[in-house]
Amino acid sequence: MQRRDFIGAGSAMIALALISHSASAQADNSFSPSPPSPGDPLIIKNIAIGQGQPKVIVSTTAADSETVKTFVQAQAKTTDSSVIELRLDLLKNGKDAAAMVRLTQELYAMLPNKILLVTFRTQAEGGKQAIDDERYAALYRQLLSEGKLDLLDIEMYRPAPQVEQLIALAHRQGVRVILSSHDFKKTPSQAEIVSRLRQQQAMGADILKMAAMPNDPGDVIRMMSATLEMVQRYAKRPLLTMSMGGMGALSRLSGELTGSALTFGMAGSASAPGQLEARDLNQALALLHHALAESS
């Protein structure tokens, strides 16, 4: 499929999403039809998350630190992304806290104008490696105390006391937190998606994240509609939502319309199913941004 055809098909699905959302909203007179407005943008390194077109995240996918450093050094020079995600679980020594502290320090120095996000995506939520709760928390505590990073992804369904302590420590260290939830088997109901995002906000997250696997186009529409509902009704923080896989690719493009402030692209290898090349993604986001600006 050519890029022009892909974007055209995407526009049709966005329209379907809005029709579906509008139909459900008619049954609830309390719902506001105003554009997405989750409050003030989150500013990190002069990058406004939640303002303008969605900011692109590119993840590391290498298994060794030297290859990661080469990749990040190259990405620091591009304009295709605003955030670099260091995926610890993909590294062979990703559980070695001291080594990861040193790596974050080196990468942070390479990224004066981009945000460094650090993530250990556990096997239970689609990552490469399993890790027990104690070691997960200990790794993150050491990274927050001794490493250098702007953003930390914490899985919301780790033990509540550990999550609360990590959020508090991150904020004391000046690090912002993404609380995340992933479902690689199905897409929950719209009410459940909104409920999880609201819970993340109540727990103190700076960015709210939900990703799920669609089994049919209706699942993609439901994720987009839930995002819009969350932004219009409840959100005081930026959102990061997506449907995964090839079917969900549209959700990675439509964030400025539905209210998802960030989106994942790839440079080389994908870190999750359904990611688009960062350069193509950024160009498509810019096209949609200009179209939306003209219609406002």
Catalytic residue numbers read: 182, 209
Average pLDDT over residues 155-168: 97
Q: Which range is least confidently modeled, 7-21, 38-52, 280-294?
A: 7-21
Tell me the pLDDT band of 278, cut-offs 50, 70 and 90: confident
Average pLDDT over residues 41-62: 95
Domains in the chain: ranges and CATH: 3-21+48-295 (3.20.20.70)
193 within 8 A of 223, measured Cβ to Cβ: yes
Instruction: Give the start-end residues of each E strand in 146-286.
Output: 151-155, 176-183, 207-212, 239-243, 262-266, 276-277
Beta bridge partners of 277: 266
Residue of higher predicted confidence among 66 and 272: 66
Average pLDDT over residues 193-214: 97
- Distance (Å, rounded) from C-alpha 173 to C-alpha 102? 17
φ, ψ of residue 183 in degrees (nearest 5):
-135, 110
127 within 8 A of 158, measured Cβ to Cβ: no
What pTM did the predictor assign? 0.87
Residue of higher predicted confidence among 2 and 197: 197
Report percent pLDDT > 90 for the chain: 74
Task: Please give the structure tokens belonging to residue 131.
Answer: 């890790």
Q: How far is CA 104 from CA 96, 147, 294, in A?
A: 12, 6, 41
Mean pLDDT of the chain: 88
The whole-number pLDDT of residue 296 equals 65
Query: 3-state DSSP call for residue 236?
Result: coil
The secondary structure of residue 275, as a DSSP letter, is: P
φ, ψ of residue 154 in degrees (nearest 5):
-120, 130
Instruction: Give the start-end residues of each E strand in 10-169.
Output: 42-44, 47-49, 55-59, 83-87, 115-119, 151-155
Is a pLDDT exceeding 50 seen at residue 27?
no
188 within 8 A of 223, measured Cβ to Cβ: no
